[in-house]
Structure 1
Amino acid sequence: MRKFLAVLFFLITVLKVRAQDSLHSTLLQDLVISTSGPQMYPLQVSDSIFQLPASVAKLDTKLLQSNNRVELAPILNTVPGVLMQSATFNTNRLSIRGIGARTPYGTNKVRAFFGNIPLTGGNSETTIEDIDLEFLQNIHIIKGPLSSVYGAGLGGAVLLQPKTADPDQVQAGVSATVGSFGLIKNRIFASYGAHTYSFNVGYHKVQSDGFRENSQYYREGVTITGDAFCKKNSKLTYLSQFTSLQAYIASSIDRETFLNNPKAAAANWKEAKGYEAYKNFMVGLNYDFALHENITSATSVFYSLKDSDEPRPFDILREKTETFGARSQFVGSWQLDGKLLKATVGVEFFQDGYDAATLENLYLENNGSGSLAGADKNQLFQRRNFVNVYSQLRYVFSEKWELNAGLNYNKTSFVLQQKYPLDNVYDTPYEYNGIWAPQIALSYLPSKHQTIYVSVGRGYSLPSIEETMDDNGQVNTSIKPENGYNVELGTKLFSVDKRFYAEAALYRMKVNDLLVAHRVLEDQYVGVNAGSTVHMGLEFMAQYKWQLGRKTLVIPYVSAALGNFRFDDFKQNDQDFSENDLTGVPKNQFTGGFMFNLPYGFGLKADYFFVDKIPLNDANALFSDAYSLCNAAVNWQGKVIDSLSLLINVGVNNLFNEQYASMVLVNATGFGNSAPRYYYPGQPVNYFGSFQLKYVF
């Protein structure tokens, strides 16, 4: 802890310099995140990310498309404090500052939005990996419970901003990517922008054989965005997307198989030919209106429907989730004796209905043809409602000092109907106590080129559907949401010559009523509140813009996250895990690399990633191995003719063919005589190439 404080003190007191945009566009001094933006609500109410008293990263289009245009993990993992473990294209776990690291499969405890449509369901699970990267304008990552506007989640929020049409332009184009292990992606897109309306549409198709057995992947989707009825004081915007996916599941493997035959699938998943398939539709509308020269309003409605099928060795899971909701907020801005005051108030309503059934899987009786549906096992229905009421205030009370404060109130209720077995029906309503989540931050600007801030905020995470039930399939009335306070001290600064930029943040969060998913059967988890955890860390990133001649630019960069994540008070099954390292998250991460902008439209990018060892079980008896990865890519961009542009990108991931676990299953349990399956092998060295042709009419 003393080392963390020493480093941060050095950064704040010595590096009083001035800079420009960071590599990952974390610094956007000229970006005004307007309340009338077409798809996204303001990040709190600050005028720029540089002045925002929080740790916020922004990944722009160029960075999102710098890899193979399919995988999101290599991009997100460049942000200090963020780790996206990736087993396959469709199986990922996103954690921020250790929050969400113990989730068995997938992502929860981190909220996400695609435009104004929430990607986090009523079961608290978040899916962002099926969004087409080439249809994203940018991604904002808010680390920690520092935004009342986005629900005050413990892990923060991920905001995916879809592309919209360029004003007064008509464009059309195609792109394609090919890569190792049968990776093929094709895409077509078109947009039309006018003064009073616009339209943008993209279609994509992705397929891959996968490098492991039983890991074939297929996805296609259509995304449409636009605006209509654009006037001086009002605008209607819309967003819709349809996705169809089928992805086979190799599942995790034990250590011996991981070391000797990482291409192998888990034997039972291979024999059952297990897979995940779904169709997902979502649509959102947003209406912006200026009520007064100082007051604006934004109201949105959204709807989504997801129908999925997942044959697994132990059963076949069929799910249907229908979601709808609305958000409405008002933003005011005033001058009080020459001092700026901005205020936001809003309300969000969300409801979803989750209908699930499991059937016997008779794959052992299907003559090697894979899964075969048998008799019903059980059915479950849950309807979950929540209301978020939020407010945010920014007061600039001097040239150097400003205050930000926010408050979020959440009230969640649900009805659980469990038919377990089918002739016994349990219909149980339940609600959690209302949760108040305040946040306050103080910023000091010693000059125009530096911000120093301190913030305190409370966050919470709601239990998933599995965590709300006991081992008899009934509501566990003793379960409570996780909650905790985050304290953060940070600085952002840049150099006088606009070449150097750095930022650092020191944080401490204690999470109480820790939600623990305990596996009682091969296909069943139950949740318990099992104590508390402490998350402490130092995050740092810096870059330098080095001009070599008139047409050559070199940008070296580095980022690091040094953490101390541990159980503070955690007892389970008569075992005391207090003071052990938190399962599923590395203590340290490091990223370094450089970008070259070269003459004649050429560019070069190379990255180095280091991920420390990860505790695999709560007893800290097993750890995954630390690993390092190197990725590199060369690109060229130019004009074929005046109106036709071409972009070519060729690259390699895992250049030195490191054998590593790209995702781990925490607290894995061996059933029967089998060894616990902790490991999802990462891809060996793999190559990709892509091009994009765009015509402007």
Structure 2
Amino acid sequence: MKGAISGFFLCFAMVWGIAQEPAKKDSVTVLEEVILLEEAIKKKANGITPSEIIGPKIFRNYSPIDAASIINQIPGVYLLSGALNTNRITIRGIGARTPFGTDKLRLYFNGIPVTNGTGSSTLEAYDIENLGSIEIIKGPKGSAFGTNLGGAILLNTKESIDDFTRFTNNFTFGSYGLLKNNLSFEHNDDKLSFGIRYGHLNTNGFRENNRFQRDGFLLNSTFKINMKNSITFLLNHIDYTAQIPSSLGETDFIENPRQAAFTWGASQGFEANRYTLAGLSYTHSFDTSLENTTSVFYTYLDHYEPRPFNILDEFTNGYGFRTSFSGKLSFADYTIGAELYKDEYNWGTFENLYQENNGNGSLQGNRISKNKEFRRQSNIFGTFTYPFTSRFSVQLGLNLNQTKYDFRDLFNTDDSNKNAARNFNAILLPNFTLEYKLSDKSSFYGNISRGFSNPSLEETLTPDGVINPDIAQEKGINYEIGSRLTLLKKRLSVNLALYQMDVNDLLVAQRVGDDQFIGRNAGKTRHQGIDLALTYTAAVTAKLTLSPFLNYTLSNHSFIDFVDGDDDFSGNPLTGVPKHRINTGIQLKHSAGFYWNIIHQFVDEISLTDANTLYSDSFNIFNTRMGYQKQVLDNFSIGVDFGINNIMNTLYAQSVLINARSFGGNEPRYFYPGNDRNFYGSIQLKYTL
């Protein structure tokens, strides 16, 4: 570990020294253009709420299907990806104990909440190529965005302030049979902003039983009725089928990481999803000091998943609204609003008779269960920001959340019926932020905020389906200080955050039988850490800019009080979180249209059991991407690029399971292998009328 890190730090220091060589006077103009390109992205978080924004400059470092690497460049945020359809995002250790999927945070798409009624979010429902930015609020600081312990992720489509009509096609090909095409038409003028995109993706994947095929459609349109009123319509539809290779035991992971888990390969397990989001938003400016945006939305998910142990067939209808008023009172800014999300989740399971299907994979048998859940979450929120001086500001935020579950057993009758409901009490979540500005681009801040996480409906029930009235929401308080500095004539950007989050009522699954668990609140965790992001932009010549960066995450998370049955894990490091993560890179850009990036990622070992008896290996990954863009005619341009991932062909686990169990005398399956060395290239054609 130390050798790999120190070697790259030496390389980074050498580049840093070169970057500080004096440049010609006219290089200042080039430098300012680089800075303004990223600053054009409008922050969505309210007031002085600290957040991190991923923009085109970071997107350009990675393949257009590599959402994990894009998000993992942000310190404090870690996306574990078992496959393109198997993602789990943790923010400062929150969500690390979730076995599959992402929860304990809120996900928004163009301001519309897309996290379902139990708090689960699905990143793979969105094509990265359709995004202009990703904004991340780490921890429960964003009162207007749910105050979940993990925070919020705001996905935003591309925006433009220029008038144009443009056709763009980006075609990507690569290893594992990768074929991806993104075709778009965009129009923008004083009255109408209109964009329509169609995307297709097909890849066989690195592993057996790992094919992924997706078709997607995005329509986003805003019409300005007059100076005070505008209306926006959003439609996003994704249809994908993804085979599931699942996780491997240690021996299989080392000897043949390409293989699928035996039962998943034999059953040819997969998932098929059709997801639709439709939203209509209306914005009205009452005057220069008050504006309102109100959105209504509908979501639909149809999911079919043959697994070795059964076949899951489910669909969800979700709907809701969000309204937000933003205005000024004298010198103060305020935001007040409300958000309601309701969904109806219908699911059933069937026998999987793959063992009787002559090697042809899954075969649906008799029904095992049929269920329905009614789920509702409401948030009332407000923030008030007051500048005491031109440099010193205070912000108070409040969020009031209420959650309700109603479970219906539609399969069993009489005494075996498991109908149950749980209505959590309303919980008030305050948020207090201080900011002191050194200049327009430099500031220090402090924050204290309270957050929560809901248990899933299954965690509120006993194995017999009886409601557990004692189960409670996880609750925690976040303490944070930080700085956002721009130094050395705007060449050096330094973002630093130190935090501690104390989480009470940790949800754990207590074993009460051979294969029976009951959710209960049995623990307390402490999340301490440092998030550091350094970016230096230098004009080496009048036409050449060099941008080295370093992002570092220290995660010193531990169980303070954690007793699970007869086992006491108090004092142990938190399971599923690497203590150290480092992302470093060099971005080189020439005004003639050439760019080249090389990126390094280090991930420390990860504890795989609550007893800390087994760890994954740490690893170093190197990726590179280079490209060239050329304006061929006045209205036509062409771009080409080429990338290599995992240059050193490292064997590593891109995702892990914690506390995995063994079946039939086989090894517990902890590891999701990352891809070996692979290549990709893209060709982009752009025609502007």
| Aligned equivalent of 2:186 | 191
CA distance 1:221–1:176, shift in 2 (3 Å) = same
Opposite residue 453 of structure 1, the aligned amino acid is Y
Shift of 1:608: 0.6
1:409 maps onto 2:411 in alignment: no
Alpha-carbon contact 1:93-1:105 (below 8 Å) kept: yes
Shift of 1:646: 1.4
Take 2:457 and 2:346, find their aligned partners in 1: how far apart are those partners? Answer: 11
Opposite residue 615 of structure 1, the aligned amino acid is S
| Aligned equivalent of 1:621 | 613
Shift of 1:506: 0.3
Alpha-carbon contact 2:296-2:322 (below 8 Å) kept: yes
Take 1:632 and 1:309, find their aligned partners in 2: how far apart are those partners? Answer: 37
Q: 1:295 aligns with which of 283, 290, 295?
A: 290
Shift of 1:160: 0.4
Farther off after superposition, 455-464 or 490-499: 490-499
Secondary structure of the 1:443 match is strand
Shift of 1:24: 12
Take 2:505 and 2:597, find their aligned partners in 1: how far apart are those partners? Answer: 44
Secondary structure of the 1:347 match is strand
Alpha-carbon contact 1:53-1:442 (below 8 Å) kept: no
Deviations 1:533-585 (A, max 9, x none): 10000111111112212111111110101121111100002100001111111
Secondary structure of the 2:355 match is helix
| Aligned equivalent of 2:303 | 308
Opposite residue 202 of structure 1, the aligned amino acid is R
Q: 2:338 aligns with which of 326, 347, 370?
A: 347
Alignment of 1:12-23 (within 5 A): none
Take 1:370 and 1:69, find their aligned partners in 2: how far apart are those partners? Answer: 31
Q: 1:43 aligns with which of 33, 42, 45?
A: 45
Shift of 1:311: 0.2
Q: 1:630 aligns with which of 622, 626, 638?
A: 622
Secondary structure of the 1:107 match is coil
1:208 maps onto 2:206 in alignment: no
Alpha-carbon contact 1:314-1:523 (below 8 Å) kept: no
Take 2:66 and 2:580, find their aligned partners in 1: how far apart are those partners? Answer: 23
Opposite residue 577 of structure 2, the aligned amino acid is V
Shift of 1:520: 8.0
CA distance 1:22–1:220, shift in 2 (3 Å) = farther
Take 1:292 and 1:130, find their aligned partners in 2: how far apart are those partners? Answer: 37
1:276 maps onto 2:271 in alignment: yes
Q: 1:651 aligns with which of 618, 643, 657?
A: 643
Alpha-carbon contact 2:575-2:658 (below 8 Å) kept: yes
Take 1:87 and 1:125, find their aligned partners in 2: how far apart are those partners? Answer: 17
CA distance 1:346–1:245, shift in 2 (3 Å) = same
Secondary structure of the 2:264 match is helix
- Taking structure 1 as the reference length, what is the TM-score of the superposition? 0.91
- Taking structure 2 as the reference length, what is the TM-score of the superposition? 0.92
Take 2:117 and 2:130, find their aligned partners in 1: how far apart are those partners? Answer: 26
Opposite residue 393 of structure 1, the aligned amino acid is F
CA distance 1:128–1:520, shift in 2 (3 Å) = farther
Take 1:675 and 1:439, find their aligned partners in 2: how far apart are those partners? Answer: 46
| Aligned equivalent of 2:315 | 320
| Aligned equivalent of 2:14 | none
Deviations 1:37-75 (A, max 9, x none): xxxxx4112xxxxxx352x11111342243221120011
1:589 maps onto 2:581 in alignment: yes
Take 2:318 and 2:404, find their aligned partners in 1: how far apart are those partners? Answer: 15
Shift of 1:411: 0.9
Shift of 1:477: 2.4
Alpha-carbon contact 2:573-2:612 (below 8 Å) kept: yes
Secondary structure of the 1:513 match is strand
CA distance 1:28–1:189, shift in 2 (3 Å) = closer
Secondary structure of the 2:69 match is helix
Deviations 1:145-190 (A, max 9, x none): 1011000010111100012566532111211111111111012110
Shift of 1:201: 0.5
| Aligned equivalent of 1:179 | 174
| Aligned equivalent of 2:370 | 379
Secondary structure of the 1:134 match is helix
Q: 1:366 aligns with which of 351, 357, 361?
A: 357
Take 1:363 and 1:461, find their aligned partners in 2: how far apart are those partners? Answer: 38
Opposite residue 285 of structure 1, the aligned amino acid is L
Alpha-carbon contact 1:144-1:153 (below 8 Å) kept: yes
Alpha-carbon contact 1:509-1:536 (below 8 Å) kept: yes
Q: 1:145 aligns with which of 128, 132, 140?
A: 140
| Aligned equivalent of 1:564 | 556
Q: 1:495 aligns with which of 462, 472, 487?
A: 487
Alpha-carbon contact 2:420-2:465 (below 8 Å) kept: no
Q: 1:550 aligns with which of 534, 542, 546?
A: 542
Take 1:453 and 1:26, find their aligned partners in 2: how far apart are those partners? Answer: 24
| Aligned equivalent of 1:398 | 389
CA distance 1:526–1:687, shift in 2 (3 Å) = farther
Take 1:259 and 1:607, find their aligned partners in 2: how far apart are those partners? Answer: 25
Take 1:455 and 1:578, find their aligned partners in 2: how far apart are those partners? Answer: 28
Q: 2:671 aligns with which of 662, 679, 685?
A: 679
Opposite residue 514 of structure 1, the aligned amino acid is L
Opposite residue 416 of structure 1, the aligned amino acid is F
Farther off after superposition, 522-531 or 556-565: 522-531
Secondary structure of the 1:129 match is helix
Shift of 1:447: 3.9
| Aligned equivalent of 2:447 | 455
| Aligned equivalent of 2:7 | none
- Between the aligned residues of both structures, percent identity stands at 37
Opposite residue 491 of structure 2, the aligned amino acid is R
Take 1:664 and 1:26, find their aligned partners in 2: how far apart are those partners? Answer: 39
Shift of 1:465: 3.1
Alpha-carbon contact 2:31-2:537 (below 8 Å) kept: no
Take 2:516 and 2:630, find their aligned partners in 1: how far apart are those partners? Answer: 54
| Aligned equivalent of 2:157 | 162
CA distance 1:636–1:267, shift in 2 (3 Å) = same
1:333 maps onto 2:331 in alignment: no
Take 2:464 and 2:31, find their aligned partners in 1: how far apart are those partners? Answer: 55
Farther off after superposition, 594-603 or 633-642: 594-603
| Aligned equivalent of 1:534 | 526
Shift of 1:277: 0.6
Opposite residue 677 of structure 1, the aligned amino acid is R
1:388 maps onto 2:379 in alignment: yes
Take 1:518 and 1:306, find their aligned partners in 2: how far apart are those partners? Answer: 31
CA distance 1:546–1:293, shift in 2 (3 Å) = closer
Shift of 1:497: 1.6
| Aligned equivalent of 2:409 | 418
| Aligned equivalent of 1:668 | 660
Take 1:104 and 1:407, find their aligned partners in 2: how far apart are those partners? Answer: 31
Alpha-carbon contact 2:405-2:457 (below 8 Å) kept: no
Shift of 1:30: 6.7
CA distance 1:678–1:155, shift in 2 (3 Å) = same
CA distance 1:297–1:664, shift in 2 (3 Å) = same
1:73 maps onto 2:39 in alignment: no
Take 2:207 and 2:511, find their aligned partners in 1: how far apart are those partners? Answer: 26
- The number of residues matched between the two structures is 661
1:577 maps onto 2:577 in alignment: no
CA distance 1:522–1:350, shift in 2 (3 Å) = farther
Alignment of 1:107-146 (within 5 A): 107-146=102-141
Farther off after superposition, 674-683 or 110-119: 110-119
1:605 maps onto 2:605 in alignment: no
Take 2:450 and 2:284, find their aligned partners in 1: how far apart are those partners? Answer: 31
| Aligned equivalent of 1:438 | 430
Opposite residue 46 of structure 2, the aligned amino acid is Q
CA distance 1:82–1:519, shift in 2 (3 Å) = farther
Secondary structure of the 2:145 match is coil
| Aligned equivalent of 1:7 | none
Unpaired runs of at least 5, structure 1: 1-19, 34-41, 46-51
1:429 maps onto 2:424 in alignment: no
Shift of 1:616: 0.2
Farther off after superposition, 512-521 or 357-366: 512-521
Take 2:536 and 2:470, find their aligned partners in 1: how far apart are those partners? Answer: 52
Secondary structure of the 1:530 match is strand
Shift of 1:271: 0.5
Q: 1:88 aligns with which of 83, 87, 90?
A: 83
Opposite residue 136 of structure 1, the aligned amino acid is L
